[in-house]
Structure formats: structure tokens, C-alpha cells
Structure 1
Amino acid sequence: MSSRSTTPRVLTAGSCDVDNFGDLLFFLITERYLRDAQVVPAGPFGWDMNGIMDERIRAFGPLLSSEQFDVIWTVGGERAWGTLEDAFRISAPEQLYRRYEQASPAERRCILESVSGATSMVDPYLPSPIDHPLNAGAPSVVNSVGISDIRGLSPSRQREYVSLLAGTTFLSVRDDESSDLLRKHGIDHELAPDAVHALSIVRPVDDTQRTDTAIIQVNGAVLADLGTAAVARSLIRNPDLRGLRIRVLLAGTYRDLGDSRALDEELVDAVTKLAPGTDITIIDDRRPLDLVDHISRARIVIGTSLHLRITACAYNVPRVTLKIGAKQTRYLTLWDPYMPCDVALGNLDDATSAALAAARRREVRQLAARTSDAAHAHLKSLAEAVLALVESETYRDREQRAQRRAGLDGHR
């Protein structure tokens, strides 16, 4: 292996078989830093993503069991939020999901195994090398993740995660609480900004090309709770949005937990009825980089999605994050503290004014630029270190790594 003459094969794993803006961006950005490798994108199931992603997505379980890879690279995201069955529930094609719902427990296990190669996993988006003998000793990367939700799992599930993370070759988390958890368990890691901040480095835009649009995005459950009529009234009365074209963006269309096209259409109808002259429509684009273009050119961005916010930060677009949950607040207080976060709908007017004012301040622009630079530098050095390790790796190195992981696995 140390006298390698072939291109390194890197399996990039994560939630790439779900229409979720941020998760797909992780893959697209990571690929930019692995141009000297053969990158094979994979998810837990390998659903057909034609029309959104240019590359074929494959299920990583069967791949890792049948083909050898030089690196297993988990590209990012919030981990420990659910099981393999949960991942199936939000992402499976409608016809297959209806069949699954009507199936017996034994039939459900067969369906899961047929599409993923397994009936359970430690994490559906974080491959465990030790579960695949052919790749048990492969160097592994877990980058740009949040793992603090591990604390809410049962003791046995916590041990499984800790064992998996302890056997990771390169580990990077994106928030303080995740870092604190790893320190508590004595696991080496880095703390770095989310990889999506690097967008403005690998895909710069001309700041003078800003349009007169306001991007609005609200998670389906949040929009249902707030009510489309209330959100419509808030948008219409907001003085900072007057005269702007309102574009409603869906950050993710996955089942149950994503945005709702039906509710977004209700929101458009409610705004149109209350203020007939308002220019408001839904963005139909689903390709992640097309959505990036909309965000980077906007006058202001308002939403609940973390990666909507991170993308706006990368391009220094004024941004407001509505109240939704701990993940956004945990991350943004560390890396994007100057812009409003955890905003109640009744405080939106003040928040948009504060965001527009903050975007003009030098320290805000400088922090956004430094964060993008840090994300870029981290990805660049990580890719270089990983590929250098692969170049010098021997079969004995892989064997020893597999043995170490087996020892950790035995203490789950």
C-alpha cells in the first residue's frame, strides 16, 4: 500500500439520499477538497437522487461489505438523532413506505435489510468500519458533526457511539457541547466551523449582484404551529420587507421532519389575499447549488434551517433564524453570534432591522470571512492529511487499526 499507484478510493457517507439542502451541500463541498481521489457518495439506502445530484448515490452497507475503500469519510451533520428505521421513514419512496407501514415486524426487517444491507446500525448516517470486515481497518473520517444528542440516549446506545467515535482516525465536531462530550471520554478531535461555511471560498460570488429579494424558509412543523396566516401578517407588516420580492425556499422535502410544500402554498395564498400587490412565489429549484445562488444574492434571509443560515453567513447576507430548537442556537452562538437567532415571530420586525444593521458593521463582515477561511483551511488540511496517510499506509497498519477497533467494539 505504501507504493500506491492507483487513485485513492474514498467513500463519502451521510444523508445524501434525502432531499435536504445542508446534507447535500456537505457532499458537494467535501468533493471539492478530494479532487485527487475517486469519491463514491453513499447513504444508508441509495435512493434515486437524479435531478438533484449529478452522481449516483449508493447504499454504503453493501458497498463496504463487497468493495475495499482507502478511506471512509462521513461528511457532516447532526448525529444520534434517530435509528435506521427513522432514516427510512423520512426518506423512503412513497410506494415502498406505504408497503412498509402495512408490513409485519418481520417483513419490515426484510425490507430494511433489502435496501440497506442491515436491520440496525449504530447510526444510519455514520458507517461503522468494524461491521464490514473488508474495510474494518480503513482510515475513517468523521467531519463537521454535532454529537451532543448522544447524551440523551440509553447507556448501551451511548457506549456504542463512544466506541465508534473512539475508533475514528480523524474526528471533527462543530459545536462546544459536542467537543466537551468527547473530552469527557478522552477522545481526540478538533473543533471547527461547519464545512458549509467554505462555500464562499470554493464558490465566490460578486457582492454587487445582490437582488431585491427576501428569502423565507420555515420548517413544516414550525409553520403549522405558528399558522400560515400569522406568518403572512408578520411578513406583510415588516417594514424591512416592503418593496422586496419574497421568495419562499424549501430547505428539505423529506417526510415528516422537513418543510411542507402544501403549507408554503398556503402561506403564499395568505400573503396574496392580505396584500394583493406583493410579489411572492415559491422557489421550485431543488439542486443545492441553485438554492445557494438564490441565498447568496438575497437582500435578507429569514428561516429555521441551520444551513440556510450558514450559507447566508458565508456570503455575508443579513440573516435571521426563527425559534426552532437547540441545534441552531448551540451552533450560532459560537460561530455567528452577531445576527439574530432564536427569534419569536412577534419579534421579527426588530430582528430584521438588527440583521440589516449588523451586516454593515466591519466586525460582523470580518467574523463571517474568518469563519469561512477557517472552514476552508480545516477541510484543506484534513484532506491533505488523509490522502498522505493513505499514501504511506501499509496492510499491517490496516490490520492493527482493525484490531484496535475490535477491542473498542468488545467494550460496547
Structure 2
Amino acid sequence: MSTQTQSANAGPASKPRFIVFGAFDRHNFGDMLFAHVVARLLAERRPDVEPVFAGCAQRDLRALGGHDVAALSQLAKRWREEPVTLIHAGGELLTCDAWEAAVMLQKPEEAQTRIARYGSRPADRIAWARAELGTEALAPYVVGRETFAHPASICFNAIGGATLDARDAAFREEVLTKLRSADRVSVRDAQTQATLKRAGIDARLVPDPASMVAELFDARIRKHSSARRGYLAVQFSADFGDDATLAQLAHQLDRLGKTTGLGIVLFRAGAAPWHDDIAVYARLAACMRHAAVTIFESLNTWDICALIANSDGFIGSSLHGRIVAMAYGLPRVNIRHADAAKQRAYVSTWEIADAPGVVPIADTHAAMREALSMNRAVLREKASALAKAYRAACASIMNPQKPDTP
């Protein structure tokens, strides 16, 4: 029996019931970091609390630097009548539907089987997802007051929903109804804030929780460092994997290697389905002429953070690759292939004016050279400002019964 299950099965609580909830039940290093950030700040501000970590499914990701995660549906059965405090830890939760959530919780080979079986059959797809997740919710990572009979508090911490307006009416209404029932709502980008404002929901604007990684966890991250230096940390999702796109990206990275003298280290920010694929990285490496190209195989959250922290800069499609680079005051560029709405929304809200943001692959070399030329003191000042802003804003989430302050 997992430690989370043992905790959830415990008798009457002597301490407040706190659930830290999010999409850290599958491998995505950004979501996994949220749980660590919220837990550390809870420990600072609420030493009386022993949080339980929950997602849509029970998973134990401790071997990869994550948490032992309980299934919220099971906690809801056990704690239905208890005064639970639930904190959504962060991330693009407002736009993840049940089908997407259920597929991303599968092993890669199982995900392909489910996509082949249900992907083109909407009714069967929904039925399978609901059975898999144990909930009828259209947006399973968005939880309001409906799940527990007498919740003490429901909080949303630095969440995103950059494409919420594009979802169908039923999905949007479910999300908005749950948000209206919450005690605290903060969002990580101005686009999501404006969307909620139009729906009559006032949400505080705060940086992403991963802005805190250097301040809170630098000592831990440094223990995961290797002797490798003089490289760019590069990541991209599996949808970059067609031959033409890989050839274009290889050309841009070869140019960067030649003009900067830096190595290229390819890493995965997420290994869940619809994230990153090491086989695609191997194909890219085979296309490249630059001699110093390495594929970083570790999926440990802290190894990934250390790889970025010790790099000369980050290039990739991952928003949290960028945010960890921001936290360490490093040059960063996001590249786009298809949808990059959440990346653009975050960059437009928090990035330094005129810093390279989200660029097409063809502009990778030029954008990264521009990023590398930026004043490092300015980059470090931005890192400090974002961490300070998040720490100030999180007080009301950690103490939800206290009045909020802007």
C-alpha cells in the first residue's frame, strides 16, 4: 500500500485535510515541480499541515523525482463529509478535457491502442475516459465544491486556460461554474485572466509556481548536476517529428553549434503520451552535422532542472523549460510547430520587453543568438522579481481563510 493510500485511509484527522491537486500523476516535469513548490511553501507557512497529493489517477512517481499521488476520486469517497482544503497546484488545467487526461495517464503503447480504438468515435471516447478516470467531469483537473460535501476551501493557484474560449459551450460552462464556486482563483497569464473577467470571475495574476525553483530548490538541483558545461539545453515535443520539420530544426541547431561553439543536449520535459519522444530525438541527432550532440536520457525532475540550470540557455517547445531557465536567469527561446497558445500567453505577460519569445523553427538560430546577447544582470533581475511576486501572492493560497489582498 502506498504512503498516500495509508494517509488517506487514516482515521479521524488530527491535522487539517489538505489536498494538493494537479496533473503530476503523469510525467511532465513542470507539473511535477508544482507539487514540490506548493509543498515547500505549505511547510513554511502551515507546519500543521501534512498535504496529500492527488491527481486523476493513483501513480507513484517518486522514482522520477515526483510524488506518491492518490486518485482524487478515491479521496472524495473517503473524505466526502470532511472539511477538506483543496489547492489546484498550477498548470494549464482549465483546458484539459477527459479524453486528453485519460490518454496521457496511459503507458505509451497503451495510449496508441486507445487512440486507435476510440479516437474517431466521440461517444465511445467519452465513455472510456469517464470509466478510466472515475468521474463524469468534462474537465477532470478542475474541481469545485461539488466533489466534497463541506469543503473548507477550494483554491486555484496560478492556473492557465489560454484556449478556454475555443472550447465548446458545455466544457466552458463546467469550468466556469467550478471556478465561481472557488474561494481563491489566481492565474498565470493575462489572457486567461481576461477570459475569466469576461465571465465575471476576478482572478489574481501571478507568475507560474516554477518561478520558485531556483530560490527553493537550488541546493537540491545542484546535487543532480554533472560536470557537463558549455551547451544549450534543447527540447521539443513529438509533433515536431515529421522529416521536413526535423531537417529544418537540425539545420538551425547546426548553425547555432557552429556560431557559438556550444554543444547541443536534447532532453525530454515530459514522457507522458502527447509529450516528447526519445526516438524522434535520435532521428534529429542523425540529421545533424554538429559533432557535440547528446541525448540526455534521464526523466528525473531534478536531473532535468540541473541540466537546464547548468546550460548556456534553453531552446524548446516546453513552457516549463523556459520558466526554469527564467528562474536561473538564462537565455531562453520557445519554438513553435503547431499550437503554442500557452507559451505565447505566458511570454506576453511576464517576459522582458523585446526578449525573444515564441518563434518559428526557421528563426531559432537568430532568436537564440539574440537571447545569448542579453544582459545577464537583467535576466537575473527578472528571475528575482518573478520569484518575489509569486511568494507574495501565494500567502492567500496557503492560508485560504484569511482575506485576500492584491
| TM-score, normalisation: structure 2 | 0.83
The corresponding residue for 1:154 is 168
Task: Confirm whether residue 253 of structure 1 aligns to residue 281 of structure 2.
Answer: no
CA distance in 1 between counterparts of 2:109 and 2:66 reads 24
1:344 to 347, 357, 360: 360
Amino acid paired to 1:178: T
The corresponding residue for 2:200 is 186
Task: Confirm whether residue 291 of structure 1 aligns to residue 304 of structure 2.
Answer: yes
Runs (5+) with no aligned partner, structure 1: 390-412
The corresponding residue for 1:365 is 380
CA distance in 1 between counterparts of 2:108 and 2:228 reads 38
Q: CA distance change for structure 1 residues 185 and 231 in 2, over 3 Å: closer, same or farther?
A: closer
Compare 27-36 and 98-107 and name the one that shifted more. Answer: 98-107
Amino acid paired to 2:25: D
RMSD: 2.9
The corresponding residue for 2:252 is 234
Q: Is the 8 A contact 2:21 2:89 kept in 1?
A: yes
Q: CA distance change for structure 1 residues 175 and 95 in 2, over 3 Å: closer, same or farther?
A: closer
Q: Is the 8 A contact 2:257 2:263 kept in 1?
A: no
Amino acid paired to 1:260: D
Q: Percent identity?
A: 24
| TM-score, normalisation: structure 1 | 0.82
Structure ID, larger Rg: 1
Amino acid paired to 1:336: E
The corresponding residue for 1:123 is 139
The CA deviation at 1:172 is 0.3
1:52 to 61, 64, 67: 64
Amino acid paired to 1:27: A
1:200-239 alignment to 2 at 5 Å? 200-204=214-218, 211-224=229-242, 226-238=244-256
1:9 to 14, 17, 30: 17
Q: Is the 8 A contact 2:60 2:67 kept in 1?
A: no
The CA deviation at 1:62 is 1.8
Amino acid paired to 2:366: D
1:93 to 90, 104, 107: 107
Task: Confirm whether residue 322 of structure 1 aligns to residue 335 of structure 2.
Answer: yes
Q: Is the 8 A contact 1:340 1:354 kept in 2?
A: yes
CA distance in 1 between counterparts of 2:344 and 2:382 reads 17
Secondary structure of residue in 2 paired with 1:386: coil
2:348 to 333, 339, 343: 333
Q: CA distance change for structure 1 residues 111 and 149 in 2, over 3 Å: closer, same or farther?
A: closer
Secondary structure of residue in 2 paired with 1:186: coil
Amino acid paired to 1:151: D
Amino acid paired to 2:264: I
Q: CA distance change for structure 1 residues 110 and 335 in 2, over 3 Å: closer, same or farther?
A: closer
Q: Is the 8 A contact 1:240 1:352 kept in 2?
A: no
- What is the count of residue pairs matched by the alignment? 375
1:169-184 alignment to 2 at 5 Å? 169-184=183-198
Runs (5+) with no aligned partner, structure 2: 1-11
Amino acid paired to 2:280: L
